[in-house]
Chains A and B, each alone.
Chain A
């Protein structure tokens, strides 16, 4: 087990260097000069430009810049934002809880609906519910996030006025010593209405972000269930006289979860990609919005550092899923 873990961590090294290089190159390949962007409408003199360029290290050859960046990264220094002058590391961790909270709720939404839907569809294969569900899943999967978000905003915020359009909580609430997880902070503070407000802000973005994972999970659960339901041990379960709910929900689902877990792990990358758009639409102050804003500002350190951290995050999640796979599949655990 430890050996396996070490081997897996070792494979991170080339990926890590690759991601460092790509994120470094990506932002520099975009047209636009960060200094000009910073100067904005005012413009600037040649001397001032040269001074700033030297200060930010742009006057040196590109490979020297990369080398310095890489050595910095290896020492845990991601540099600081051109704009706010705060370390990229600090900014990331102050914003990350917002993204994590959104992602967790999106995943809960996707699982809570996707697993039962997949199970029910498989059990009623070919019948109306199954067909309806699978067509809906296909629509959900191919729906542009942006359009879907707008539709929900129009209905629930515009027409019905149930949910706010942006932010994480109403401005009247203030928390000292926040954890960054609005729901936890709201509960901890005990302020009346704080939790409700946080949840109301959370619901639409979570639905929007969770829609594609929901469709994927429902489809994957259904196909895994269909396979499992034909297995001999399901016949054994029926021969024992167990009620259908127990056969489908425990005997079959437990086995079907094995491939589904993998899909969930793989969709974490998709989830983070979706978070970028979702956060932008809902002005959700998380990593996604931060990335987009920084790209527009050509804030090199933030973009390259942020991308790197996101990539590491995805790698860690995939590793966790691998380990979880062993826990959930006894055949792998005890080999």
Chain B
């Protein structure tokens, strides 16, 4: 049984200009100890879908799902109180912006110990020992001293380490890392990723890694889910995704990859992700797709089977490769 299993997740926001569907029938599955990477351009609903799983969306959001099961618990059926026993303990998340994700009014030590008291019920001394241990684990030098620092006294990289230490403090079964390195220097990025994969090895937790960076995907992920305009348009194990992408969007991402060496962000594909007001009637990628024809523009393609990476496309690529292997 998988650790996290979400079927047909949709999220809509009530905005002043009407309802906006930020996530559209997405399926997510993560096994114990697995690294799933979610990639996609900005605005493709990566963060929103994971925040929905965590139950952290603002009240303007409406979340629906056929199934949302984590570690045997149906998340949609839990009361707020029951959910709080899971979220923060077995299910943890770290965010894109380490500097603003920590409370400026409290020391980082206070913030990490708070979780330890709440979920593990440790006494004062045990909390302190565990906090020091966690800071050492995530590579924060002079942990005793750092515990009494305020977030603004630490660098972005240090703050992200604090966030990671806080997220793993109660030995979560699944850690969701939402672009954990985007705000950091390149050298620090590699360190943080090594830290996360290392922790996965040590603790056996599952890891969902949201990223913009195909390089990161290639190095760390085991399975990759590609999102586009709120939909999952393809999902494959990392090796076969790089070798034989089925969806033209994935292929375009990979084609443009060599240029990536300069700025490490997602390669540029002409055009932009459709927003609230310019969603095409047919395939969401059709305005930018070089294979698009009238059929593509007329109606949306349903997802294909698992052997074709669940690609949402009428004309999947590299089908012969599958036949060959």
Given contacts A241-B86, A242-B114, A242-B118, contact A232 B100 (CB under 8 A): yes
> B70 on the interface (CB 8 Å rule)?
no
Q: Which of A231, A238, A255, A334 has the most CB of B within 10 A?
A: A238
Query: Can you name 27 A-B residue pairings with CB atoms under 8 Å?
Result: A231-B100, A232-B101, A236-B95, A236-B163, A237-B103, A238-B87, A239-B54, A239-B56, A239-B87, A239-B92, A239-B167, A240-B88, A240-B118, A241-B83, A241-B86, A241-B87, A241-B88, A241-B89, A241-B119, A242-B118, A251-B106, A254-B103, A330-B105, A331-B150, A331-B152, A334-B150, A334-B153
For B114, list chain A residues within 8 Å (CB).
240, 242
CB < 8 Å A-B pair total: 71
A251-B103 in contact (CB<8A)? yes
- In the complex, whether A71 has a CB less than 8 A from a CB of chain B is no
Q: Which residues of A contact B55 (CB under 8 A)?
A: 238
Interface residue count on the B side (C-beta < 8 Å): 32
Chain B, Cβ-Cβ closest to A230:
B58
In the complex, whether B193 has a CB less than 8 A from a CB of chain A is no
Please tell me if B102 contacts chain A, counting CB pairs below 8 Å.
yes
The answer to whether A66 has its CB under 8 Å from any CB of chain B is no
A328 to B95, CA, bound (A): 26
Instruction: State the interface size on chain A (CB cutoff 8 A).
Output: 20
Judging by beta carbons under 8 Å apart, are A330 and B152 in contact?
yes
| B window 74-119: CB within 8 A of A | 81, 83-89, 92-93, 95, 97, 100-106, 114-115, 118-119
Q: Give CA–CA (A276, B103) in the complex, Å.
A: 42
CA distance A255 to B102 in the complex (A): 12
A236–B97 Cα gap in the complex (Å)? Answer: 11
Q: Which A residues, 59 to 74, have Cβ-Cβ distances below 8 Å to chain B?
A: none
CA distance A237 to B102 in the complex (A): 9
Question: Beyond the given A231-B100, A240-B115, could you list 10 further A-B residue pairs with CB under 8 A, ordered by the A residue number?
Answer: A232-B101, A239-B54, A239-B87, A241-B83, A241-B87, A241-B89, A254-B103, A330-B104, A331-B152, A334-B150
- Pick from B95, B105, B152: contact of A235, CB below 8 A: B95
Bound-complex Cα distance A251 to B105 (A): 8
Leading 6 A-B pairs by shortest Cβ distance: A241-B88, A232-B100, A241-B84, A240-B88, A233-B103, A330-B150
